Amino acid sequence: MYQGKGRCACAGVTVGKILHIITPVTSTSEAAVTYTQDKDQELQLLEQALEQSRQELDALIDKAQAELGAEQAEIFEIHRMMLDDPDICDNIRDTIQNELLTVSCAALKVGEQQAAEFAQLDDDYMKARAADIKDVTARIARNARGEKSLVLTENVVLVADDLQPSQTVALDRSKILGILLRHGTQNSHASILARTMNIPLIINAQLPISLNERSEGAPAADADSVCDLSGHTVALNAVDGTFYIDPDAETTQRIQAVQAEFAAARARQEKLKGQPAISKHGHRIMTFANIGQVDDVEQVLANDAEGIGLFRSEFLYLGRSTPPTEEEQFKAYAKVASTMNGKLVIIRTLDIGADKKVDYFDLPHEENPALGLRALRLCLFMPEIFKTQLRAIFRAAARGNIAMMFPMVTRLKEVERVLKICDEVEAELKANQVEYKRPKIGIMIETPAAAILSRSLAEHVDFFSIGTNDLNQYTTACDRQNENLADYSDPHHEAVIELLRIIAQNAHAAGIPVGICGELAADPELTDTFIEMGFDELSVSPGAVLALRERICNSEAQCLNPCPAALDKLQAH
């Protein structure tokens, strides 16, 4: 039996036979370079491959719309448009003509080049866009080679280096028991589609070099060293991130018990849809969800979140050569607000910097970007960029229930300056007779400075939302991206917990609601603590909403910092 571990991307438990899918070749570095003696023939073959790819994607769009809904079908509509994109098609033609490469090699080379700049971004959403380009060009190459698509004939657990979105949708999902990937991200299309289809998924899995290894053996270092696992049995626990290949009888029995427990918990939690999260002693907490793109709204509604506590707006800015226009932003914000149908949507203004960068801002190099020109500091440094976003948010607020919050606040002077800019934006919209609504304004408390000053800051804003990821990082002086500091970066650090208590007390002293939108909000060990501190709202990933609601409803904790007026304000947004 081999035991491995990975990261859960879609919760669930299953046991089944493995089908190990060899990841399609998507780059020239993975394939032998081949040349042509007849470039005219290759150009003709390219047109045939493009047409076949269009037909396949048309069929995938129809399948995705029927089985998954319009939002997920948009992935393949984008792929379909890429097949007519001159930046892709003309570059493939030029590569064939100038370098005498075959269609397959030319398509892979162009895809690799165009995906490279996306893949360099330290942002999961933009890395997924790189995967889109490589998916499309790999499809062209595959059709040029005359390869056939995989068809499932029995129930299996898919194991792969990674899965392209088109692979995930094209397969018969009724036969997919679970998915185990050596790579992948939480925001990759494969992860999003797995959550939509409710398929247990583990990413970043430690797949074995050989099955002679035992649990203490080293995982494979690269795709080439992973052994073919097809035909073997795997017990997949996508609740704690563990998996067992060829499990013994005791392990199989234990996993099956976990599977039954998970199914029972999910059935219980489904019954909580439409119900408020109220503890045994009567403390009410709003259960919200975090999203990073427009498509995530479907999962928010499917999991019955009462609102969106964090809408990360930077996805609109990343992976492009110019900033998004006011109209682009307005449409994205308005679409989310409209889809949420009256439920509160809290938009976090631009949080670029640190691990998220864009070339077109042309910012100077920083030795320590986490402590540099990022988030609100960047917005105040580039006020026209900031005002464009604010105008879009003000306009979208007229179409739905929108609030906005500013990240990385450290002092009152910043808040006063932001409020002045908001006044200017409102005056401009009013003077130009543009439909708008001034949204409620909050700030993120994610620096020790803001936590310490939270009593005075609370007098100037409508709500607080605590970003516990950065608050923990800045309080404990631990880079959360540094794996070597994992033992020092304790989310339950006494100083962090004390700051949370202080922030909640100061918010309620001023009569404003306070919530948490960082990863700590979903920590089951802290639910009772958050009730005791009096938090009004917790915002977690969509799939964690109902489990959080259940923990709140079952809690015997007593709220020590009640503020009914704050909750009323949150519900009245």
Distance CA 236, CA 13 (A): 6
pLDDT-based confidence at 478, cuts 50/70/90? confident
Q: What is the mean pLDDT of residues 358-366?
A: 73
pLDDT over 70 at 9, yes or no: yes
User: What value does the mean pLDDT take over residues 223-240?
Assistant: 84
For 382-412, write each residue's pLDDT tens digit.
899 999 999 999 999 999 999 999 999 999 9
Same-domain check for residues 165 and 122: no
Radius of gyration of the chain from its Cα atoms, rounded to whole angstroms: 25
Q: Which of 478, 517, 559, 563 is catalytic?
A: 517
The answer as to whether 270 is a domain residue is no
Residue 142 CA to residue 140 CA, distance in Å, equals 6
Annotated binding site for phosphoenolpyruvate: 312, 348, 469-470, 480
The contacts found for 350-353 with CB under 8 angstroms, 24 or more apart, are 350/313, 350/314, 350/317, 350/375, 350/378, 350/379, 350/385, 350/386, 350/389, 351/312, 351/313, 351/314, 351/375, 351/407, 351/408, 352/314, 352/317, 352/318, 352/378, 353/377, 353/378
Catalytic annotation on 189? yes
Question: Is residue 91, in this structure, part of any structural domain at all?
Answer: yes
567 and 543 in a single domain? The answer is: yes
Q: Which of 239, 254, 269 is the last residue of a domain?
A: 254
State pLDDT tens for residues 529-542: 999 999 999 999 88
Q: 546: number of CA atoms within 13 Å, CB side?
A: 19
Q: Are residue 157 and residue 140 in the same domain, yes or no?
A: no
How does pLDDT run across 304-333, given as a tens digit for each residue? Answer: 999 999 999 987 887 677 888 999 999 999
Among candidate residues 117, 145, 173, the one where a domain is terminated: 145
- For position 445, what pLDDT does the model report? 97
The pLDDT of residue 269 is above 60: yes
Q: Quick one: average pLDDT of 15-29?
A: 73
Residue 109 has pLDDT above 70, yes or no: yes
Which tokens in the block code for residue 324? 């998004």
Task: Please give the C-alpha separations between residue 407 and each of 124, 446, 469, 518, in angstroms, as whole numbers.
Answer: 20, 8, 12, 12
Domain membership of residue 414 (yes or no) is yes
Q: What is the pLDDT of residue 217?
A: 46
pLDDT score of 362 = 74
In a domain, 261, yes or no: no
Mean pLDDT of the region 467-478: 89
Three-class SS of residue 278? strand
**Model confidence at 508, in pLDDT bands (50, 70, 90)?**
very high
Q: Does residue 366 sit within a domain?
A: yes
Calculate the CA dihedral of residues 479, 482, 488, 491 and round it to 10 degrees: 70
Last residue of a domain, one of 108, 126, 145: 145
Domain shared by 555 and 448, yes or no: yes
CATH classification at residue 474: 3.20.20.60
Give the residue carrying structure tokens 């919050």. 405
114 in the same domain as 169: no
Are 55 and 85 in the same domain? yes
Structure tokens given for 20: 């190990």
Predicted pLDDT at 221: 47
Of 232 and 37, the structure prediction assigns the larger pLDDT to 232
Mean pLDDT value of segment 272-284: 97
The pLDDT of residue 287 is above 90:
yes
> Within a domain: residue 266?
no
User: Whole-angstrom Cα distance, residue 110 to residue 105?
Assistant: 9
Give the CATH number of the domain where residue 165 resides. 3.50.30.10
Residues, the chain:
573
Residue 260 lies in a domain: no
Structure tokens at 382: 């580039």
Q: What is the pLDDT of residue 316?
A: 84
Q: Which pTM value belongs to this model?
A: 0.71
Looking at residue 213, what is its pLDDT? 47
User: Domain holding 37: CATH number?
Assistant: 1.10.274.10
Please enumerate, by residue number, every residue annotated as part of a binding site for Mg(2+): 446, 470
> Would you tell me how many other CB atoms lie within 10 Å of the CB of residue 450?
26
Residue with the larger pLDDT of the pair 446 and 33: 446
Closest listed residue to residue 540, CA positions, set 166, 252, 204, 289: 289
Catalytic one of 189, 283, 508, 573: 189
Highest averaged pLDDT of the listed ranges 12-26, 61-75, 347-361: 12-26
Question: Domain check: are 352 and 481 in the same one?
Answer: yes
Predicted confidence band of residue 127 (pLDDT cuts 50, 70, 90): low
Q: Which domain holds residue 71?
A: 28-145
Same domain, 391 and 317: yes
Any domain includes 19: yes
439 and 479 in one domain?
Answer: yes
- Say whether 10 is catalytic: no
Residue 506 has pLDDT above 50, yes or no: yes
Q: Three-class SS of residue 286?
A: strand
Q: Is 373 exposed, middle or buried (0-12, 13-18, 19+ CB in 10 A)?
A: middle
What is the total count of domains within the chain? 3
One domain, residues 119 and 183: no
Which residues are part of a known binding site? 312, 348, 446, 469-470, 480
Q: Of all helices (H) and strands (E), which one includes residue 7?
A: strand 7-10
Encode pLDDT of 175-222 as tens digits. 999 999 998 876 676 777 787 677 999 998 999 877 764 444 445 545
> Are residues 343 and 293 both part of a single domain?
yes
549 in the same domain as 493:
yes
Q: What's the pLDDT at 532?
A: 98
pLDDT at 33: 73
Q: Can you give the pLDDT at residue 398? A: 97
